[in-house]
Amino acid sequence: MSTFTVGDVIAERSVHLTRESLVRYAGASGDFNPIHYRDDIAAEVGLPGVLAHGMLTMGIAVGTLAEALGDTGRVLEYGVRFTRPVVVDPAEGADLHVSAKVGAVDDASARIDLTVTHAGTTVLGKAQVRVRLS
C-alpha cells in the first residue's frame, strides 16, 4: 500500500494459538521459561495459567502488516507496552485479534496503530509501527 489515510483500517487478522504454538515458539526463540508451557509453574508464581510469550504476541501483531506493506523492510520503528497476559487454555487455546489503523501520516512516514485483543481485552498498549512511505 503506497497511500495511507488517517483512520483507514489497512489490515486485520485473527490467529489461534495452542499450547503447541507456544512450544514451537519456545524452540524457535530459545525462550523456555516454564510459565509458557507448565500450568503448575504458572500457578506457583501467581499467574492465571500458561501465558503466550510476549514477543510471540508482538510478532503476530506486526506480522499483520506484511501484506498491506508489500515490503516489511518499510518498518522503521515498532514498540508496544504489554498490558494484559494472553492465557492459552490447554484445550481451547487462545484467539488473538489484530486490527491495524493509520494513526498519522507525514511527508516520509506513517504511524500505524495496532489494536490487539484476546477474549475481548486489549493485550498490547500503545502498539505503534512507523513505516516508510513508498
**pTM value > 0.85:** yes
Question: In CATH, what number does 9-17+53-132 get?
Answer: 3.10.129.10
- Please give the distance of CA 55 from its chain centroid, rounded to a whole number: 8
> CA quadruple 46, 50, 53, 54: dihedral positive or negative?
negative
pLDDT for 69-128, tens place per residue? 999 999 999 999 999 999 999 999 999 999 999 999 999 999 999 999 999 999 999 999
What nine digits make up the cell of 72? Answer: 516489511
Place of cell 501483531: 61
Q: Cα–Cα distance between 111 and 132 in angstroms, integer? A: 9
Q: Cα–Cα distance between 88 and 18 in angstroms, integer? A: 6
Q: Cα–Cα distance between 78 and 71 in angstroms, integer? A: 15
| Count of Cβ atoms closer than 10 Å to residue 5 Cβ | 9
Q: Which of 113, 85, 99 is nearest to 17 (CA)?
A: 85
Mean of pLDDT values over 8-19: 98
Mean of pLDDT values over 47-60: 98
Sorted by where each begins, the domain ranges of the chain are 9-17+53-132
